[in-house]
Amino acid sequence: MMDKSEKIFVAGHRGMVGSALVRRLKSEGFSNLLVRDRSKLDLKNAVTEFFAQEKPALVILAAAKVGGIKANNDFPVEFLLENSRIQNNVIQAAYENGARKLLFLGSSCIYPKFAPQPIPETALLSGPLEPTNEAYAIAKIAGIKLCQAYAREYGANFISVMPTNLYGPNDNFDLETSHVLAALLRKAHEAKARKDRKLIVWGSGKPRREFLLVDDLASACLLLLEKYDSSEIINVGCGEDISIRELAELICEVVGFDGDLAWDATKPDGTPRKLLDVSKLRALGWKPSIPLRDGIARTYEWFLANCAR
């Protein structure tokens, strides 16, 4: 069992994942959380002094430069360099300053573009990546390999967790850079506010995607910190997918937009299906607790309180 007074450093505590982890840890009674704003600690630069001073027992690496297809495509240099710097600094400093465990958060985009569905952990490095987010994926794969190298060479208990598509409070709702669920939520909200009769959605609506509320990811991470000590990567998802058309209909229902959906077939669909094989995590006794509809409702409440003009 984890000691509730152990010092836990959550890197990236302001992001969607990091903030959910902080919420979860606090609600479970962990009292010694260590967080630093970017103005006080830039993870892209030296972090040795911070680690030497604070000596966290547990490190959760949820800090990353992230973005949608457009940002990934336009700025491959920044995605590769910034993510590599952050993870190299934190992973090395965690080991050198005696952290007893580190949890590295990867992403399902590390898997090959044409991986088998649902995607097992063994699919890693078995084929070419999706070109549009290759730089980000390569950085994350390097982070996984660094954690595994520390485990093999020095016996470090560094684990790597691969979440599926995430959404929830603190998501990015900027239409230029957001992911599909957040973008649809905002579009439906604005269409309702303007009293539009129809909402235009990219693509055919046929692709299938898996979505996990970030609070469910946080509960899985807590379980993995307690029970999982293998350097082999582990997927976190809900094990079910939904078509983009069904997702759009569900979002319109939650938001209360009663116009029609119009599909813009000139826009790309992306990969036809992306679902993670979560049998490894299921075997540890974890499954998500928040259904998609409830999760979207929670996210919309947060959006109304924080983003809606």
Return the active site residues: 136
Q: What is the mean pLDDT of the chain?
A: 95
In 136-290 the beta strands, taken as DSSP E runs, fall at 158-163, 165-167, 198-202, 208-209, 211-213, 234-236, 242-243, 260-264, 273-274
Q: Could you list the residue range(s) of the whole structural domain that residue 146 is in?
A: 8-170+211-239+274-290
How many Å separate Cα 266 from the centre of its chain? 29
Q: Is residue 268 part of a domain?
A: no
Q: Is residue 19 part of a domain?
A: yes
Q: Is residue 88 part of a domain?
A: yes
Q: Is residue 55 part of a domain?
A: yes
Q: Is residue 165 part of a domain?
A: yes
Give the long-range contacts of residues 286-290, CB within 8 A, separation 24 or more. 286/219, 286/220, 286/223, 287/238, 287/239, 288/212, 288/213, 288/216, 288/220, 288/238, 289/216, 289/219, 290/213, 290/215, 290/216
For the chain, percent helix, then strand, then coil, each to nearest 5?
45, 15, 40
For residue 31, CA distances in Å to 2, 6, 218, 221, 222 come to: 12, 8, 16, 17, 14
CATH number of the structural domain spanning residue 220: 3.40.50.720
pLDDT 10s digits, 190-203: 999 999 999 999 99
Q: Is residue 69 part of a domain?
A: yes
Helix (H) or strand (E) holding 233: none
Number of structural domains found in the chain: 1
pLDDT 10s digits, 25-66: 999 999 999 999 999 999 999 899 999 999 999 999 999 998
Q: Is residue 75 part of a domain?
A: yes
Question: What is the distance between the alpha carbons of residues 81 and 90, in angstroms, rounded to a whole number?
Answer: 14
Q: Is residue 182 part of a domain?
A: no
The predicted pLDDT at position 153 comes to 98
The answer, yes or no, to whether residue 309 has pLDDT greater than 80, is: no
